[in-house]
């Protein structure tokens, strides 16, 4: 019976996804200039030699100990530099840094606020992590809430890592990159949270000063066409129909916003790849690039995206993701570390009362296995 239901579901779904008209990129914002979705938009990547490095940056974080009124996180930032498919060793910066963050609630003027304190694992990395003053949020701040509900403290706690990524990237630009080098973050160039824009601006200024190009590549994209299709899906169909089986880039839109100032493109970085990705370049910097430079930049990506495990996705980002991640196994270790510290200072009972307000799910998980 479930087979029958599944069949009916699929049939129904198929009727809702119309590929007959692919449409054009859909942006409601008037500050966005879009490009039509037709085959003239495909630019085959011409393999061009460009002497530069590409730095891929990524971050990760996990909650170690959490309660409704506090959240302790382990945050991790990582970068790797590449010249096409060859890794380049860093000059002076640590490849990876870690810091703990502790986000806790306070009530002021009848409002719940979340503040975050940061604790680098190595004190000399203090300059690479965000200032605590930037990490104070009203729990009802629209940039942190989801819908109309008060922001979950865990979500706010993640913001430290987000800011840290920009901060870390800035340090990379300052110490490791030269003119013509490319910085790639594992996200779009759009900022979301209060104060986040400052960090991006800082990064872009530092980069422009040095001639380093700021870019971002997203694994996922929620962009649509004006016919309701996913933009990446529609582009894939267009490419297929057009017989574009080689590496290409496709300009999608130019965005002129304070929180998002970027040239948005779609890229296919390997002919055997099944996926295309959203790629953004800082808008002014994109405007200054020649066709040759663009091809040169993409040539680096193409060569870096030739790994057998994930064709078409830059290996530098696979690498950065692996080392930036905080695994659940590590979480257990650090949890034990935190708990033992709690015990040492005799505060275990006090904090565990609050932890229990949130951990019933964990108990169930443990029971069920």
Residue of 251, 200, 186 lying closest to 36 (CA atoms):
251
Binding of residue 295 to other proteins (CB under 8 A): no
Positions in 222-281 near other proteins (CB under 8 A): 270-272
Binding of residue 307 to other proteins (CB under 8 A): yes
The torsion angles phi and psi of 152, rounded to 5 degrees, stand at -70, 135
**In angstroms, rounded to a whole number, what is the distance separating the alpha carbons of residues 215 and 52?**
14
Element (H, E) at 120: strand 111-120
Residue from 306, 317, 320, 326 in contact with other proteins (CB under 8 A): 306
Binding of residue 329 to other proteins (CB under 8 A): no
Binding of residue 188 to other proteins (CB under 8 A): no
Binding of residue 308 to other proteins (CB under 8 A): yes
Residue 91 CB neighbours (<10 A): 9
Least CB distance from residue 276 to other proteins, whole Å? Answer: 17
**In angstroms, rounded to a whole number, what is the distance separating the alpha carbons of residues 115 and 112?**
10
Least CB distance from residue 241 to other proteins, whole Å? Answer: 21
Residue from 56, 72, 315, 324 in contact with other proteins (CB under 8 A): 315
Report the 3 state secondary structure along 30-53.
CCEEECCCCHHHCEECCCCCCCCC
Residue from 23, 94, 233, 311 in contact with other proteins (CB under 8 A): 311
Burial class (CB in 10 A: 0-12, 13-18, 19+), 101: buried
Residue 290 CB neighbours (<10 A): 8
Cβ distance to other proteins smaller for residue 272 or 291: 272
Binding of residue 44 to other proteins (CB under 8 A): no
Binding of residue 89 to other proteins (CB under 8 A): no
Least CB distance from residue 328 to other proteins, whole Å? Answer: 17
Helix/strand/coil for 240? helix
Least CB distance from residue 332 to other proteins, whole Å? Answer: 18
Note the residues at the interface with other proteins (CB under 8 A).
85, 87, 270-272, 304, 306-309, 311, 315, 319, 322
């Amino acid at each position: 019976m479930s087979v029958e239901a599944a069949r009916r579901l699929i049939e129904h779904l198929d009727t809702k996804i119309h590929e007959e008209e692919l449409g054009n990129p859909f942006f409601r914002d008037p500050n966005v200039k879009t490009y039509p979705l037709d085959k003239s938009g495909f630019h085959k990547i011409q393999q061009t030699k460009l002497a530069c490095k590409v730095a891929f940056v990524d971050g990760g974080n996990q909650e170690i100990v959490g309660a409704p009124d506090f959240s302790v996180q382990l945050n991790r930032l990582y970068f790797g530099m590449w010249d096409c498919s060859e890794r380049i060793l860093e000059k002076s910066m640590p490849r990876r840094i870690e810091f703990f963050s502790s986000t806790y609630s306070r009530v002021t003027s009848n409002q719940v606020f979340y503040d975050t304190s940061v604790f680098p694992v190595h004190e000399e990395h203090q300059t690479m992590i965000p200032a605590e003053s930037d990490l104070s949020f009203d729990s009802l701040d629209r940039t942190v809430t989801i819908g109309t509900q008060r922001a979950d403290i865990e979500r706010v706690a993640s913001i430290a890592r987000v800011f840290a990524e920009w901060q870390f990237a800035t340090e990379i630009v300052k110490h490791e990159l030269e003119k013509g080098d490319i910085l790639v973050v594992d996200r779009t160039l759009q900022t979301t949270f209060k104060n986040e824009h400052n960090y991006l601006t800082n990064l872009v200024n530092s980069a422009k000063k040095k001639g380093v190009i700021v870019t971002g590549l997203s694994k996922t994209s929620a962009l649509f066409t004006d016919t309701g299709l996913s933009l990446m899906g529609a582009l894939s169909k267009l490419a297929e129909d057009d017989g574009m089986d080689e590496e290409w880039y496709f300009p999608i839109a130019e965005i002129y916003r304070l929180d998002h100032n970027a040239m948005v493109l779609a890229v296919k970085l390997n002919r055997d790849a099944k996926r295309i990705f959203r790629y953004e370049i800082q808008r002014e910097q994109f405007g200054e690039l020649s066709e040759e430079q663009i091809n040169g930049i993409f040539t680096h990506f193409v060569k870096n995206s030739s790994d057998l495990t994930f064709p078409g996705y830059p290996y530098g980002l696979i690498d950065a993701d692996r080392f930036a991640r905080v695994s659940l196994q590590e979480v257990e270790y650090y949890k034990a570390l935190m708990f033992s510290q709690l015990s040492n200072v005799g505060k275990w009972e006090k904090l565990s009362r609050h932890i229990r307000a949130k951990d019933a799910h964990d108990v169930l998980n443990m029971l069920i296995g």
